[in-house]
Structures are given as C-alpha cells and as structure tokens.
C-alpha cells in the first residue's frame, strides 16, 4: 500500500484546508485510461466508489484501481519551491 511521508501529509492537509469539505477532501491519483502510462493528481472532495483510500496524519489520498496497483510499494513525498509551489515525488518504500 502507498505510504505518505510527513511532508506529503502536511502538503495534502495544506492543499485541502480551504476545500468545501476539508474533513473529507484529499488528493486523487488516477490513471489515464486502462494503463499506467500516465497518472494524474487532482484535488477531490471524496473518493470515487472504486478508489482505495490511504490516510495518514489527517491527510487523504484516493487511488483509482490502476494507480493503487502501480503505487502499491511506493511512498509519496512532497516539497516546495521558493515561491511556495508544491511538488510531489514518488519513491520506492524504504528509500
């Protein structure tokens, strides 16, 4: 299962704090079509019916079935640039 670093959890909480329903909001990672050639990240107010939900420190990530399979042994990290922009990085767990 995808894990979240403390940095990723904080970034997700920051992104969803002003959402209409912050207690249910999170980020959603989904596939483009039926393959894992491209994954997209978006803000979501709730999971889709088939999504896997990963929650850590109050941060929620919703994964569609393809994304859940691709990211099963991965970790999501986050950082910010000098202008405050957030970027996410997927790494192998344990690195």
Domain ranges of the chain: 3-78
Percent of the chain at pLDDT exceeding 90: 73
Beta carbons of 68 and 50 less than 8 angstroms apart? no
The pLDDT, as a whole number, for residue 95 is 59
pTM comes to 0.89
The pLDDT, as a whole number, for residue 51 is 97
SS3 30: strand
Tens-place pLDDT, residues 28-56: 999 886 666 789 999 999 999 999 999 99
The pLDDT, as a whole number, for residue 82 is 83
Which CATH superfamily does the domain covering 3-78 fall into?
Answer: HesB-like domain (2.60.300.12)
Cross-sheet strand order for the sheet of 59-63: 39-44, 26-31, 59-63, 52-56
């Amino acid at each position: 299962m995808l894990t979240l670093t403390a940095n990723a959890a904080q970034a997700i909480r920051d992104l969803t704090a002003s959402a209409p329903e912050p207690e249910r909001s999170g980020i959603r990672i989904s596939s483009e079509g039926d393959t894992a050639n491209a994954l997209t990240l978006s803000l979501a107010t709730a999971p889709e019916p088939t999504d896997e939900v990963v929650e850590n420190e109050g941060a929620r990530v919703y994964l569609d079935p393809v994304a859940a399979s691709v990211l099963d042994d991965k970790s999501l990290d986050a950082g910010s640039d000098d202008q405050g922009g957030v970027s996410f990085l997927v790494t192998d767990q344990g690195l």
